[in-house]
Structure 1
């Protein structure tokens, strides 16, 4: 009811003339301790500095939002301390109000001052608001694509908008590594609530052009800092429960969390819910509702395990051939098909088994190569889904999945959601 009342009172706003401002990440430099003490960046490029100061003013002084690059995906940010700013995020994305947001800070100092309302802390007490279980992780992985859950401070001194937490007793927070994101947060001196800067349910944006496609006229500004390096959202962990849990796989792998977290994280569990019940609260984004989905139907080809493997590449090609024919027979409106390949499907086999098949003479095929390593596939995934859906306008997408070790856990998490669990053992 708390959130619903806010949405009922929210006024409609005129469309924006969305500005896209180029910024140069290489012109932004932080001191080695800036993520702890909050010291401001040095920016050598005047145009980048001017764009960041304008964006910081919007975040700090208005109820509006700014899209900006992080190392993971582009984020849509508003002040995490301002209910109306958070509402602007939900409105621009058409995002369900019970889907919590991650709060981004530029430093431990800012976390203490702005969220926990504590100033003049000594060096010894600087980390007091962060439970000890997280400290090995953040000492190695912040700034970076790691989000942790912290308890919301008591209502008497809490400054965080309840709309960021979906009115829950915990909030999600991280310090991003991308210099544009860090500079924006630092210059505004405002914790920024920021989900991915896409229309709700769409694939996450890794380029400013993806943001413009989804949110043109809905937000005032996009900071264009180039392509995101990681390509999927941050890893979210919960150290407030026992054993700790990996709630969402992302930019850091499960293996890195268990290795760097120390003994307590060696027993870390992975959240494996496939569905969430109606009305059930979730502690992190990405656990509820449709996500990462193109307009076209997506079929995920899940690799067989070592215990249940089929023989040879030829069988894979014959199986894909049959799957395509089944889809064409079921839907006569399929004329253009995309095949997103990763590790096993080779060009020569596709050419002989699929592209040269006379049964497919009236069908156009688009082949996109995701990469040869987990990091490459992760970085290219959302951009490839958007290209074949928005630029090539395909009617059907087949995606070759990968194993779930390393980056594969996050890749397959996103692909299962993109395919709405329309998965076939392959």
Structure 2
């Protein structure tokens, strides 16, 4: 709750000890420590209005009951997050979605059936109409739709199943900071603000879930993420072949149906400069540095095309160079972690090479464009 200070505990869990049998709503857990720590976190969610940090396949989430106003308020308070920014609800099964979130005569729209069959559990979020008054208005920011997904991460699913609570869960970081992909990232941002963090190691996907809206015609991709635009189109070309991509950023006074469209996002303390289509990068970086004269050490995050600046005397200010990767999945997985890593070295500026906006690149560039202080395009 707002103003409460906690002695934040990190609770380790073993991913490979958790198994969800096919079609089952509850897990089999073969490790006693994992079972105990999941039960501690689940009891906290059931018996208090507090929130807990937990891993998903995308990023670490900060979970509280989507059915209790005070729990959702605790999420906003811990993150210092604007209350007009809606949250995504996480469920452990279709059965839980139907029992807890849908109205008595409500069913999941047919347009989502093939996507659910292929990508649930997984990093895909769907928009549904609110027909159940049990859903907290603070989850939806007072709107007529709610966003929901079923995470594939065994720890996330187990926590939600054991507590039997659909969890409203944004990323478990301080608002505006890069999203957390390790338990240590959560602890860095939220130490003293939450009681527990379940530590399930690093997140595989590295960027948040894809959000789609099938309630409009043509359907829309509201936020690119762990399932690519091309995968959605290929999965169900009849319904999703003509999907429109929504704009990256909404206006300050504009209502949004999904997180990540308003306000500053994903930003480290150092300013980020994004270079898009700038060849080997050396000339573009030199031009920027000569024009702006930044002080202090600089970090460079490279992808496929940028040259190593260490051989160029004119770029001696770049003291840290990291390779984000060359494949889209690797870049996505490494992005937030490397932004945090170089930021914690105390650099004054972070230069990042952009990527083509296809497959995973659409989500990566969506996040980078919001993290960037300025974008340089050739």
In which range does the TM-score fall when normalised by the shorter chain?
over 0.9
C-alpha contact 2:2 2:74 (8 A) present in aligned 1:
no
Q: Specify whether residues 366 and 109 from structure 1 end up closer, same or farther in structure 2 by C-alpha distance, changes over 3 A only.
A: same
- Within a 5 Å distance, the mapping from 1:27-426 to structure 2 comes to 27-34=17-24, 38=25, 40-116=26-102, 118=104, 129-153=107-131, 157-274=132-249, 276-303=250-277, 313=280, 316-328=281-293, 331=294, 334-347=295-308, 350-353=309-312, 356-357=313-314, 363=317, 365-390=319-344, 392-420=345-373, 422-426=374-378
Structure number with higher helix proportion: 1
Structure 1: distance between partners of 2:223 and 2:4? 36
Alpha carbon RMSD of aligned pairs, Å? 1.5
In structure 2, distance between residues paired with 1:381 and 1:68: 19
1:23 aligns with 2:13: yes
1:244–1:267 contact (8 Å) kept in structure 2: yes
Q: For 2:37, what is the secondary structure of its paired residue? A: helix
Deviations along 1:240-262, whole A, 9 cap, x unmatched?
00000000000000000111023
Structure 1 Cα separation of the partners of residues 19 and 103 of structure 2: 27
Contact in 2 for aligned 1:203/1:382 (Cα 8 Å): yes
Whether the 8 Å contact between 1:71 and 1:228 is mirrored in structure 2 is yes
Structure 1 414/273 Cα, relative in aligned 2: closer, same or farther at 3 Å?
closer
How far apart are 1:318 and its partner, in Å? 2.2
Task: Determine the C-alpha separation between the residues in 2 that align with 1:285 and 1:98.
Answer: 10
> Residue 319 of structure 1: CA displacement?
2.4
Tell me the distance in 2 between the aligned counterparts of 1:129 and 1:60: 27
3-state SS of paired residue (1:242) = coil
Whichever of the two has the greater Rg, that structure is 1
C-alpha change, 1:68 and 1:12, in structure 2 (3 Å) is closer
2:15, 2:200 within 8 Å by CA — same for their partners in 1?
yes
Q: How far is the alpha carbon of 1:365 from its aligned partner?
A: 1.3
CA contact (8 A) 1:337 1:394 kept: yes
Number of aligned residues: 378
**Matches of 1:318 and 1:192, distance apart in 2:** 48
**Residue ranges of structure 1 left out of the alignment (5+ in a row):** 1-10, 119-124, 305-309
* Kept after mapping to 2: 8 A contact 1:117/1:159: no
For 1:371 and 1:277, the matched residues in 2 are separated by 33
Cα deviation for residue 14 of structure 1 reads 2.8
Unaligned runs of 5+ in 2: none
The secondary structure found in structure 2 opposite 1:267 is: coil
